[in-house]
Structure 1
Amino acid sequence: MKKLHGVTVAMVTPMDSRGAFLKEAMEQLTEALIARGADCLYPCGTTGEMSRLNLKERKEIASVVVKTAKKRVPVYIHAGADTPKETIELALHARQIGADGVGVVTPAFLHMSSREMQNYYLEVAGALPEGFPLYLYNIPQCSGNDLLYKDVKTIYENAENVAGIKYSYLDLNRTLEYLQVGEDFSVLHGCDKVFASLLVLGCGGTVSGVAGVFPEPFAEVYRAYQEKDLERMERWQKVCVEICDILKCGSNMAYFKSGLEFRGIPAGHMRSPQMDLEELEREHLFCILRDFCRKFQISEKL
């Protein structure tokens, strides 16, 4: 069972000015991220504007990434949707096209009880082939539903293919609880600004949208951690913090897309009702990114 690890990149979905998916740009982005040190790829999630995509589009995007990656790195497809039926359809499609696993976020907006969340995940996991891994995905500040330790423990103990969790909220006590779910339970975190600290705590890596624009500093942190070079890890973590601040840590995906445009990837536009950066904002961002690249000797081109 291939698990997520290291620098897992939450990928944007390139779109044109009408909001149509740009296949060639996604192929280019996939190649660039692998070349720059991404350990795993994770399309169709929050960073990929999943809530603005229909099932057909999500399947097409997943197919493009899996086909382009050619098994050079693990690819997990985010398959979470508002109903078990849709989630299972996307997850089975991911398995069919050769993805290494799926991530599934809690359904959003309507409040779910512990019993309902447990039942949702167990239903999805039970519909998947044996050995095909599933990561739970808890981002309570966006979904409105929070997976407690006891929920995760129950799901994990009753579904053999639940491999771990992606947690995107900076609650260190909850993170430590997740790390106690099971000996083989994998915890990936989405809080990029404390990546190095989370590795030391025992997390297996990050699922990072910022790394989808600048994977290099995150890859350096992870390699330094593997090599037990704490001084280098600390130095590069400070670089990660700086680029996280520049790109607003994913609070506005338009910064990610403009950042990729700066690096030569035609990431395009946001899908309505989200909007692109205004021209002055974009020009200002490009100036800051040029200075950042010079300061840390990172290529402007991805």
Structure 2
Amino acid sequence: MAPAADAKMSGIVAATFTPLTSEGEINLSVIEPYIDYLINKQNVKSIFVNGTTGESVSLSVAERKALAEDWCRKAKGKMDNVFVHVGCMSLKDSQDLACHAAQIGADGIAVISPSFFKPGTADDIKAFLREVASAAPNLPFYYYHMPAITGVNVPVRDVLNDIEDLIPSFRGVKFSGYDLLDFGQCVSNSQPNWSVVYGVDEQLLAGLVMGANGAVGSTYNYMGSYANKLITAFENGDQLQARAIQFKLQELLSFAMKNRFDLGVNKQLMSEVSGLSLGPPRLPLVQCPQEYAKSILQKYHSLFQDSRSM
């Protein structure tokens, strides 16, 4: 899949789960039906692979390469864009994955901040990002901000200052944080060729109001069609409809969060809704109890069984 010159993150982008066998090995056989499900059932045609939802930090570099290559090859001619997350704790591993993403025809790459030895300033972050981007200088490059996971709370607005001078391929931010002040500053100071996409699914509408170009998230794997309707309602000026959809999405997630809505639960819910066999998460994460997954699935169906009401 040759990357499009103008490939940009926009609209609804599903952060894909990584299919595993019951023994915990990557299961590439699920990827093709997974892609078909996203396109035909969720109207989602762009994906973000090997990110947090994809359990990237629990995968080896070899596994991440195999997954990225399979996603790109099987999405060719079907999906609009495949963005590959290449961030690692190791700079060398990140550069290796970035170079590989360019070789397999990814449409863009993203990098999350290292979170063991953490960068302390915006300049530290930019130095790391620059070195990774240099391994794939022709690929659109995105900074992936997720402070709740990384513990790196440096304002993204500061990271963006003069970043194109260091990284000519820089094309935007995947902003997965709750700070709408920082997010708004990113949008208001972005360049015309950038995309600033929001990554907190339960606050999608707020992100759109602040000027988000789109959204990347895990729940869009099984609620992408509703998120698309939310964006359409917002763009048409139908705020009541947009809020109604957002409130339903919030009700589902609020119900799930009353107990433990972690990646294992989320992955199980995707398996139940889609019928795909995604397998368990990799340790140290564990699969959720079946009864808990069923209770969330019942809530999902009670909220979204009649799409005409949306």
TM-score by shorter chain over 0.5? yes
User: What do the CA deviations read for 1:150-204 (whole angstroms, capped 9, x no partner)?
Assistant: 2222323421111001111110111111113332232111111121221121111
CA 1:244–1:7 in 2, change beyond 3 Å: closer, same or farther? farther
Pair 1:97-2:65 in alignment: no
Query: Which aligned pairs between 1:11-22 and structure 2 lie closer than 5 A?
Result: 11-22=16-27
- What is the number of equivalent residue pairs in this alignment? 297
Deviation at 1:287, TM superposition (A): 2.7
Deviation at 1:282, TM superposition (A): 2.6
Check the 8 A contact 1:109/1:144 in 2, yes or no.
Answer: no
Pair 1:177-2:182 in alignment: no
Check the 8 A contact 2:174/2:197 in 1, yes or no.
Answer: yes
Deviation at 1:246, TM superposition (A): 4.3
1:276 is matched with: 287
Check the 8 A contact 2:95/2:132 in 1, yes or no.
Answer: yes
Check the 8 A contact 1:138/1:147 in 2, yes or no.
Answer: no
Pair 1:70-2:76 in alignment: yes
Check the 8 A contact 1:217/1:239 in 2, yes or no.
Answer: no
1:286 is matched with: 297
Check the 8 A contact 1:41/1:74 in 2, yes or no.
Answer: yes
User: What do the CA deviations read for 1:57-113 (whole angstroms, capped 9, x no partner)?
Assistant: 111111121112114321100111112211111111111111100111001122312
Q: Does the residue aligned with 2:116 lie in a helix, a strand or coil?
A: coil
Check the 8 A contact 2:14/2:217 in 1, yes or no.
Answer: yes
Among 202, 208, 213, the residue aligned to 1:204: 213
User: What do the CA deviations read for 1:189-245 (whole angstroms, capped 9, x no partner)?
Assistant: 111112122112111111111112221211111222333433332222222223333
Q: What's the % identity of the aligned pairs? A: 25
Pair 1:58-2:49 in alignment: no
2:172 is matched with: 164
Check the 8 A contact 1:118/1:155 in 2, yes or no.
Answer: yes
Pair 1:37-2:46 in alignment: no
Query: Which aligned pairs between 1:1-302 and structure 2 lie closer than 5 A?
Result: 1-35=6-40, 36-71=42-77, 72-114=79-121, 115-130=123-138, 132-148=139-155, 149-184=157-192, 185-248=194-257, 251-263=261-273, 264-294=275-305, 296=307
Check the 8 A contact 1:199/1:205 in 2, yes or no.
Answer: yes
Check the 8 A contact 2:12/2:46 in 1, yes or no.
Answer: yes
Check the 8 A contact 2:98/2:135 in 1, yes or no.
Answer: no
AA paired with 1:256? N
AA paired with 1:3? K
AA paired with 2:285? Q
2:3 is matched with: none
Stretch of structure 1 that moved more, 48-57 or 214-223: 214-223
For normalisation by structure 2, the TM-score amounts to 0.89
CA 1:95–1:221 in 2, change beyond 3 Å: closer, same or farther? same
Gaps of 5+ in 1: none
In 2: Cα distance, 1:158 partner to 1:100 partner: 21
CA 1:76–1:161 in 2, change beyond 3 Å: closer, same or farther? same
Stretch of structure 1 that moved more, 202-211 or 239-248: 239-248
Deviation at 1:4, TM superposition (A): 0.4
User: What do the CA deviations read for 1:113-171 (whole angstroms, capped 9, x no partner)?
Assistant: 223212101112223233x1011011111112234222222323421111001111110
Stretch of structure 1 that moved more, 242-251 or 25-34: 242-251
CA 1:43–1:218 in 2, change beyond 3 Å: closer, same or farther? same
